[in-house]
Structure 1
């Protein structure tokens, strides 16, 4: 009995033990940690530093004075009309033609002391320097670099540095190029090949050789009336004179002042005067240079880019199928030429009008507008990217294309206010060397007298 009871007690205690023991705790399933999406970084919108609220531009009127006529004036008027219709700011541009550049300069200068000054003057850079001395010209540097209304680095680099240099004296941006042309030598390749020359001259010695050979061919024929012809048609345009002097490592400026009498300048003018005395350069008494050039009375002539179309037409009228091309001026150490033209000059007013004027200028300088400007005027494109739309034009106008390819050797005229007065003096002095009975031995004395005149001009107060 005792053994059965003990066994039963053991079983009860065992049941009691297991009944009182807590059940085993289940292992919890891990709860996945929710993934938090990364917060997108917000790039702040660029802010203008010009302190003009964009909405204040609406209805702002901008007055532009210019001296253009003909094709340029018509194209400008049509582009202004398009800007007035399409610009998103509601800016209105008003045009007031002012005759020639001399009249424009005088009228604009007089306006500086009145409340009737224009917002933009399209004029020559040296004229703007006079107004800058009076504190009237707006420095465009803050406008070009503005994060909202300016130009990006890539856009600014789209302008050839040669064109920008003409409006930046002392590192300040007093304007932007409106149009640029250049003065070049023109060369009859077909006639040169018949004379035995298979390539254009690249030095002054080669130039003299070909010019004198052309003159010799005239002397060798049965006609005596043309014995003084055949070489280079003397040209006294100030950019021609500058280019010849620069090709001989000379120039007009030394230490920020005029200095005409230097050995390089004397060498350049002596070279040209000797060509003239030998009959290898000549000056016609009648007719225009293009007529003589197309009639093979000159192997070389000088012309500006805007004259190329008319010269081509002259060849057509003369039924002359000769091929002619464009050269820079050859010297002792390379070739060069000068670019020049008008610029957009902004005069100081209030901040809203100044910004409105700048936005119009920026729009005018777009590659699309520049391509249209080239097709209408035949001048240089002011933006490299405009060439993408001018490939067909370049093929149809090979002389223009060659001129564009010569831009790396181009230079700009002196950035001195008195240059506007010095230009005609330089031209007249150069012309007198050929028209007067002045020998090469007298050139230094002539240049010394010109030197004094140019120095006096620089010291004069403007205008």
Structure 2
């Protein structure tokens, strides 16, 4: 618009001058006496609004933070750990508060859980200030009094983040760590699980759009299997549809797609009509050869060689799947789609959070300021380029134009975030989620009939009751 105004400005100026010139060229009117102007009363001088310096409600000045050292525990290794160390070095060298950050990798999330739990109850000498952990871990630690509510830090007039900045976090990320009115963490990483879909092959089978419902998914998967059975190779007659995937997040997605899920009225409940419908649907796909169990460790090569119309994976799988298509010299167009549901698509969203542990006021504020700095759009763009996971800030996308162009499937995945579903907010979820995967593995590999899925769901309820002691 500014360019448009610039281009029009000379024309507008000329037109204005022409109008003024035309007015001046009319006949000269008869001379009349000029009346004296009546003086206007003086306008009162507006009183300037005094500038009010924001005051922190946290009771600490910036000078109070100088020399503060904090410890961060994380589960990362390799490229992720290297990036974090690089960003920490940048923060230590440039932050205006004189804060020093040190990071320690615990290697995996299980080690994070055990070590941080021990530190919180006093079994370890040193307690970290920030832990990168699964959100359900924070619920366990909060029950032990070890987690600090981040709300006062986020809303602080001096050290917090603005309402606009909070809106920059997608809702499915922002809501995961909110428990009632308390915030037990900030998103550190977020991933999503998707169906991989061969668009070129689907069009050859007569389908112009991805499936939008479970029934449409079945139609396309079964059509791919029919194509296999109609070719000259009898060894592939059981292939062509969906490569069965029993990852807990895949099963979680299918339950949600049928309007079910692991919870009913806030408690675990698997034996429900919607969950029965979901498990029956999946088992019948296999019974009708529209889904098949692969013996390969990953589905990349099979999906790239048209042995399946659908596969399953997360954002971290996209680079490997792209390489598999290149290695197969397959120019098929493929993309990611949500799990088709009865009331819309489903993308399960999951990942780790920054959890602030209770130490002292100076260390807690210093830790929050490091978290805030790490969550800036610029730093988040660096994390995307290293990990390929979701950007935690929408404004980071403006810094990722090249990455989006080079990774079209990733770019399509970002557009599916409105279909995102968070994880159950129960401390026991880190254990219970594996029950979903184990049950699905049992159904597909043991050969449980579709008419027996209710019994499997009942067994899941009994097992979860034993695990959680909630019933």
With 39-48 and 206-215 compared, the bigger mean Cα shift is at 39-48
Query: After superposition, where does 1:301-312 map in structure 2 within 5 Å?
Result: 301-312=311-322
1:416-440 deviation digits (Å, cap 9, x = unpaired): 0000111212111111100112111
The question of 1:366 aligning with 2:376 is answered yes
* Cα pair distance change 1:287/1:139, threshold 3 Å: closer
The TM-score normalised by the length of structure 1 is 0.90
1:364-412 deviation digits (Å, cap 9, x = unpaired): 0001111111112111111111111122221221111111100111101
The question of 1:109 aligning with 2:124 is answered no
Partner of residue 230, structure 2: 220
The question of 1:70 aligning with 2:82 is answered no
* Cα pair distance change 1:460/1:78, threshold 3 Å: farther
The question of 1:86 aligning with 2:94 is answered yes
1:69-99 deviation digits (Å, cap 9, x = unpaired): 2221111111111111110001000011001
The question of 1:252 aligning with 2:275 is answered no
Partner of residue 214, structure 2: 204
> 1:70 and 1:443 mapped to 2: Cα distance?
41
Kept after mapping to 2: 8 A contact 1:257/1:455? no
Residue of structure 2 aligned with 1:99, choices 98, 107, 110: 107
The question of 1:179 aligning with 2:189 is answered yes
Partner of residue 62, structure 2: 54
Q: What is the SS of the residue equivalent to 2:235? A: coil
Query: After superposition, where does 1:208-287 map in structure 2 within 5 Å?
Result: 208-287=218-297
Shift of the alpha carbon at 1:460? 6.5
The TM-score normalised by the length of structure 2 is 0.89
> 1:168 and 1:352 mapped to 2: Cα distance?
24
Q: What is the SS of the residue equivalent to 1:64? A: strand
1:213-262 deviation digits (Å, cap 9, x = unpaired): 11111111111111111100111111111110111100111111100011
> 1:441 and 1:191 mapped to 2: Cα distance?
32
Shift of the alpha carbon at 1:328? 0.3
> 1:94 and 1:43 mapped to 2: Cα distance?
38
* Cα pair distance change 1:36/1:261, threshold 3 Å: closer
Gaps spanning 5+ residues in structure 2: where? 1-40
Partner of residue 455, structure 1: 465
Residue of structure 1 aligned with 2:298, choices 282, 288, 297: 288
Q: What is the SS of the residue equivalent to 2:209? A: coil
* Cα pair distance change 1:60/1:205, threshold 3 Å: same
Residue of structure 1 aligned with 2:424, choices 414, 428, 436: 414
* Cα pair distance change 1:378/1:267, threshold 3 Å: same
* Cα pair distance change 1:135/1:221, threshold 3 Å: same
* Cα pair distance change 1:57/1:218, threshold 3 Å: same
The question of 1:120 aligning with 2:130 is answered yes
Kept after mapping to 1: 8 A contact 2:121/2:144? no
Partner of residue 20, structure 2: none
Shift of the alpha carbon at 1:185? 0.3
Partner of residue 48, structure 2: 40
Partner of residue 156, structure 1: 166
Shift of the alpha carbon at 1:157? 0.8
Q: Which runs of 4+ in 1 moved over 2 A?
A: 33-41, 455-461
> 2:147 and 2:73 mapped to 1: Cα distance?
14
1:325-354 deviation digits (Å, cap 9, x = unpaired): 010001222111111011000001100000
Kept after mapping to 2: 8 A contact 1:119/1:348? yes
Aligned residues: 429
Q: What is the SS of the residue equivalent to 1:330? A: coil
> 2:425 and 2:47 mapped to 1: Cα distance?
55
Kept after mapping to 2: 8 A contact 1:367/1:383? yes
Partner of residue 28, structure 2: none
Shift of the alpha carbon at 1:286? 3.0
1:113-157 deviation digits (Å, cap 9, x = unpaired): 334110000010011111011010010000000000001111111
Residue of structure 1 aligned with 2:344, choices 334, 340, 365: 334
Partner of residue 139, structure 2: 129
> 1:34 and 1:236 mapped to 2: Cα distance?
81
Shift of the alpha carbon at 1:287? 4.9
> 2:446 and 2:113 mapped to 1: Cα distance?
33
Q: What is the SS of the residue equivalent to 2:390? A: coil
Gaps spanning 5+ residues in structure 1: where? 1-32
> 2:84 and 2:297 mapped to 1: Cα distance?
33
Q: What is the SS of the residue equivalent to 2:364? A: helix
Residue of structure 2 aligned with 1:424, choices 424, 434, 454: 434
